[in-house]
A and B are shown apart, each in its own frame.
Chain A
Amino acid sequence: MNSMKHHIANSVKSIPPSGIRKFFDLVTQMDGVISLGVGEPDFVTPWHIREAGCYSLERGYTMYTSNQGLLELREEIAAYEKRRIGIGYSPEKEVLVTVGVSEAVDLAMRALLEPGDEVLVPEPSFVSYAPGATLAYGTAVPVPTYDIDQYRLRPDILSRYITPRSKILVLAYPNNPTGGVMYEEDLEALRDIIIENDLLVISDEIYSELSYYGRHVSIASLPGMKDRTIMMNGFSKAFAMTGWRIGYACGHQDIIGAMTKIHQYTIMCASIMGQKAAIEALRHGETEMRKMVDNYNYRRKLILSGLQEIGLDCFEPRGAFYCFPSIKTSGMSSEDFCEKLLWEEKVAVVPGNAFGASGDGHIRCCYAASISNIEEALERMDRFLRRHKEIRISKIV
């Protein structure tokens, strides 16, 4: 077959293959795998929300909506954000409904970056930000965070990575893959640097409802930060609606307007069925959502104590549904560890370096899995660790 690779744009070619994709291909060849490698809720969307989606089809809502999304939904979003983070956004001018937070990230990068502008991405992080920057002709600058800091972004470390080209800082807390959160004082400590350097912030708050200690604080709610922040949130995690593909961005009308311009020509609008279901989620979804959050919290504690018992150090994740234990004591690299664990014990976890170089030496374990699967996975990991410890000792002796 002729290679057509020379036709592919350099910006696309320059993006390295996804570490997750590689691992996914491996896992799908196998049967009987217990997966803690998933990045989404194990709950199906609550029935009343699914039903609202069905009903919208029955009623014939099968058409485009306005580019920004149904006004009714934007009004619900504005009211919800007022309750959640205490900020008033105008549903007409400051809210854009997108195809997931994924699209919102892409739109913001494209709307804001000039070629060569730098995007500061604290790592380990969700996989979309750096490629999003690259595709918008920007440059992603990874900023490491560490388990000793509970994966919070430290102002002194951030300062070291700022250059005259720095334009956007990504903040995604509660964090995927670490479960780290930033509290008000942590965010406050970044504020001066952000303002002094005239940075904009992409604040991906998709896991904010999954905060297990205290209330989530949005950086947008700090003095002087609302206009600088493009606040993104969505229905995927809190309402278990990943497949519906509905998210949104809130921010200054000029920025939301620019993002809307791209969105109107490339996407037109998010699906109306999803938007109708999202309205139901915001109007009546609170109770079920809280139940799911309680349920994640139970499993968070189980997996955390289980990991400690089998000798894997893990800082306590305070949000999202991931644990990010260190596997340094195993003497293996993250990828090695994950591949061996998969082949030998059929447990899928994701190598930490799939989320950036600073994630190496760790694995991501998602606890949105049944209690029996979590317990079984821990047993298998225990067996795996013991076996490899013996192998190591026998090599030394």
Chain B
Amino acid sequence: MELEKRILHLLENNARLSCKAIATMLDEDETKIKSIIEQMEKQKIILGYNTIINWELLGNDGVTAMIDVKVTPEREVGFNSVAEKIYRYPEVRCVYLMSGTYDLSVVVNGESMKDIAWFVSHKLSTLDHVQSTVTHFILKRYKQENFIFEEPEEDKRLVVSP
């Protein structure tokens, strides 16, 4: 399991690392690394690979909202079946069960605020067992998945030094 974890820590920060590079860094055989990664993909330990994009730089003005949802849990399945009904919508990026004053936290992407308002009023609030929703729009992204959005990652060092 140690090796798996070390591979995952490397991939978590840079999904584009080649198996060869990972193998070199961990003193392992490239084919072994490849097969472990494939195995973890099969087991859904690795669910997929994303890219963190600053869409704003492309002048894209899509919106993202985080919605607090209060839910009446259902017999036997608790929150799971409601959560499932919510996460099936493709515009929903994330769903988390939360401790505290509400139950589910839902992250939704849309083209405009209207889009999201429509999603909330027509799809989310009308679900059985959903009691109430509070919608927060994201105004600005500072940091996501360890990446800082605005600060350019420039190397401030002198190019040659002793």
Interface assignment of B159: CB less than 8 Å from any CB of chain A: yes
Checking B10, B14, B25, B155 against A42 with a beta-carbon cut-off of 8 angstroms, the contacting residue is B155
Closest to B17 in A: A371
A40 to B157, CA, bound (A): 8
Chain A 26-44, CB-CB to B under 8 Å as 1, else 0, gives 0110000101011110100
A298 to B14, CA, bound (A): 13
Residues of chain B in range 5-30 having any CB-CB distance to chain A below 8 Å = 10, 14, 17, 21, 24-25, 27
Interface assignment of B160: CB less than 8 Å from any CB of chain A: yes
Tell me if A35 and B159 are in contact (CB < 8 A): yes
Tell me if B161 and A24 are in contact (CB < 8 A): yes
Tell me if B159 and A37 are in contact (CB < 8 A): yes
Q: Known contacts A301-B27, A371-B14: does B162 contact A348 (CB below 8 Å)?
A: no
A299 to B13, CA, bound (A): 14
Tell me if B162 and A39 are in contact (CB < 8 A): yes
Tell me if B160 and A348 are in contact (CB < 8 A): yes
Interface assignment of A183: CB less than 8 Å from any CB of chain B: no
CB distance from A32 to the nearest CB of B (A): 11
Tell me if A27 and B160 are in contact (CB < 8 A): yes
A176 to B10, CA, bound (A): 28
Closest to B18 in A: A375
Interface assignment of B53: CB less than 8 Å from any CB of chain A: no
Interface assignment of A302: CB less than 8 Å from any CB of chain B: yes
Chain B residues with CB under 8 Å of A305's CB are 24
Chain A residues with CB under 8 Å of B155's CB are 35, 42
Tell me if A39 and B21 are in contact (CB < 8 A): no
Checking A33, A126, A176, A371 against B159 with a beta-carbon cut-off of 8 angstroms, the contacting residue is A33
Chain A 343-365, CB-CB to B under 8 Å as 1, else 0, gives 00000101000100000000000
Chain A 315-356, CB-CB to B under 8 Å as 1, else 0, gives 000000000000000000000000000000000101000100
Chain B residues with CB under 8 Å of A302's CB are 21, 24-25
A176 to B161, CA, bound (A): 12
Chain B residues with CB under 8 Å of A66's CB are none
User: How big is the A interface, by class?
Assistant: 20 to 34
Chain B residues with CB under 8 Å of A28's CB are 159
A120 to B125, CA, bound (A): 80
Most buried by A among B10, B159, B160: B160
A38 to B27, CA, bound (A): 26
CB distance from B59 to the nearest CB of A (A): 27
Closest to A34 in B: B159
Tell me if A301 and B24 are in contact (CB < 8 A): yes
Residues of chain A in range 104-136 having any CB-CB distance to chain B below 8 Å = 126-128
Tell me if B162 and A128 are in contact (CB < 8 A): yes
Interface assignment of A23: CB less than 8 Å from any CB of chain B: yes
CB distance from B48 to the nearest CB of A (A): 22
CB distance from B22 to the nearest CB of A (A): 9
Chain A residues with CB under 8 Å of B1's CB are none
Chain A residues with CB under 8 Å of B158's CB are 24, 38
Chain A residues with CB under 8 Å of B160's CB are 20, 23-24, 27, 35, 37-38, 348, 350
Residues of chain A in range 292-310 having any CB-CB distance to chain B below 8 Å = 298-299, 301-302, 305
Chain B residues with CB under 8 Å of A299's CB are 25
Q: Known contacts A301-B27, A371-B14: does B21 contact A40 (CB below 8 Å)?
A: no
Tell me if B24 and A126 are in contact (CB < 8 A): no
Chain B residues with CB under 8 Å of A375's CB are 21
A375 to B17, CA, bound (A): 11
Chain B residues with CB under 8 Å of A298's CB are 10, 25
A382 to B24, CA, bound (A): 18
Chain A residues with CB under 8 Å of B162's CB are 18, 20, 39, 126-128, 176, 354
Q: Known contacts A301-B27, A371-B14: does B21 contact A27 (CB below 8 Å)?
A: no
A348 to B159, CA, bound (A): 8
CB distance from B11 to the nearest CB of A (A): 12
Tell me if A24 and B24 are in contact (CB < 8 A): no
A23 to B158, CA, bound (A): 12
Chain A residues with CB under 8 Å of B17's CB are 371
| 9 contacting pairs across A/B (C-beta < 8 A) | A24-B159, A24-B161, A28-B159, A40-B157, A42-B157, A127-B162, A298-B25, A299-B25, A371-B14
- Interchain residue pairs A-B with the least CB separation, the first 8: A37-B160, A298-B25, A24-B160, A39-B161, A35-B159, A305-B24, A127-B162, A27-B159
The interface of chain A, by Cβ under 8 A from chain B, is 18, 20, 23-24, 27-28, 33, 35, 37-40, 42, 126-128, 176, 298-299, 301-302, 305, 348, 350, 354, 371, 375
The interface of chain B, by Cβ under 8 A from chain A, is 10, 14, 17, 21, 24-25, 27, 155, 157-162
